[in-house]
Amino acid sequence: MASTYIIFAAAVGAIFILWVLLYFIPVGLWFTAFVSGVRISLIQLVLMRWRKVPPGIIVRSLITATKAGLHLKRDDLEAHYLAGGRVRQVVNALISADKANIDLNFKTATAIDLAGRDVLEAVQMSVNPKVIDTKRVTAVAKDGIQLIATARVTVRASIRQLVGGAGEETVLARVGEGIVSSIGSAHSHKAVLENPDSISRVVLEKGLDSGTAFEILSIDIADIDIGKNIGAVLQMDQANADKNIAQAKAEERRAMAVASEQEMKAKAQEAKANVIQAEAEIPMAIAEAFRSGNLGIMDYYRYKNIQADTKMRDSIAEDPGIGTGPTEKDK
């Protein structure tokens, strides 16, 4: 029984040792590379394990490149992997570029990959251009009518501009700016609706793909809708503002008129007070005239009679019904 356990343990140990040996010495991978025409030694495969580089990725990438007619170096692929690059993406991109007669070398492809861009997608976009739909762009023509346009931009990736070149967002922003400028320079919204291709021509002439990772092939206006009459809205707002200003000025003039009226009433009251004050000095003047002999008793009586007659006339003038007798018609 004990011998059975010993044999079982030895078998497990042998299997474990064999697995460790095959892991660090991938004989099967070496044989696959050998029959595929890729010359690589077992020592290099073992060293890859120690350098934390998966031998399978490097060897399969070398096999793919060799079968496609490309000659890549193992050290270059390892260096790119250790730098954080995607080896398989780069190799597939190089193969696609070679088949499509696109000038793309290993250094440029790895630089694009390390820059964070998908180099394989860039090559595919160079072969098969991509169509980008812009958002709804709102602009106003010179006649004040708002137009809402959408465009379809056909772009092709520029391999040489992928490193350091602007992305799709910049292209869309520039196209939107060009559409706004083109519509804004139109004298009438009808002219834009009749010839929407004029927008495309104006925008393409601006060279919007300069400094970007793409080459603009065409700009097609997909749809144009009529929005608000911005000119009329602005005129209405201006009219309301003018009306409010006029009302404020009228209110200011009314307030000034009311203040002037109150001022005149105050002056009238002041004048009446001055008259009353002057009339209060009349008896004193009469008494002084009696003492100085300038006024006699008869003159005083005549003064009083004139005063009484004046009061009577005033009362008659205030009430026309007083003192009127029957007319000849009533008799």
End-to-end Cα spacing for the chain: 170
Q: What is the pLDDT of residue 329?
A: 47
Domain residues of the chain, as ranges? 13-123, 129-274, 281-317
At CA 299, angle to CA 296 and CA 303, rounded to 5? 140
Q: In this predicted model, what pLDDT tens digit does every residue of 247-295 receive, in sequence order? A: 999 988 888 988 888 889 888 888 888 888 887 887 888 777 777 777 7
Report pLDDT digits (tens) over 35-65. Answer: 888 888 878 877 887 788 888 888 888 888 8
Does the pLDDT at position 151 exceed 80? yes
Q: Is the pLDDT of residue 229 over 70?
A: yes
List strand residue ranges (DSSP E) for 195-288, in order. Answer: 214-229
State the Cα–Cα distance between residues 311 and 321, nearest whole angstrom: 16
Q: What is the mean pLDDT of the chain?
A: 81
Looking at residue 3, its pLDDT comes to 67
Tally of CB atoms within 10 A around 29: 20
Is the pLDDT reported for residue 2 higher than 70? Answer: no
Amino acid at 170: T
> To the nearest whole percent, how much of the chain has pLDDT over 90?
3
Helix (H, G, I), strand (E, B) or coil at 143: coil
- pLDDT of res. 123: 86
Place of tokens 């009446």: 272
Distance CA 220, CA 186 (A): 18
Question: Residue 11: pLDDT band by 50, 70, 90 thresholds?
Answer: low
* Element at 137 (helix H, strand E): strand 137-140
**129-274 belongs to which homologous superfamily?**
Band 7 domain (3.30.479.30)
pLDDT tens for 299-330 read 777 777 887 888 888 788 776 555 555 554 44
Instruction: Read off the DSSP letter of residue 134.
Output: P
Confidence of residue 169 (pLDDT cuts 50, 70, 90): confident
Measured between alpha carbons, how far is residue 291 from residues 189, 279, 283, 284, 294 in Å?
Answer: 101, 20, 12, 11, 8
| DSSP code for 36 | T
Distance CA 31, CA 267 (A): 123
CB of 35 within 8 A of CB of 59?
A: no
Q: Which residue has the higher pLDDT, 100 or 20?
A: 100
CA distance 33 to 237: 79
Question: Could you say which DSSP state residue 136 is in?
Answer: P
Look at residue 18 and tell me whether its pLDDT is greater than 70: no
Tell me the whole-structure pTM to 2 decimals.
Answer: 0.55
> Residue 127 has what pLDDT?
82
Collapsed DSSP state (helix, strand, coil) of residue 324: coil
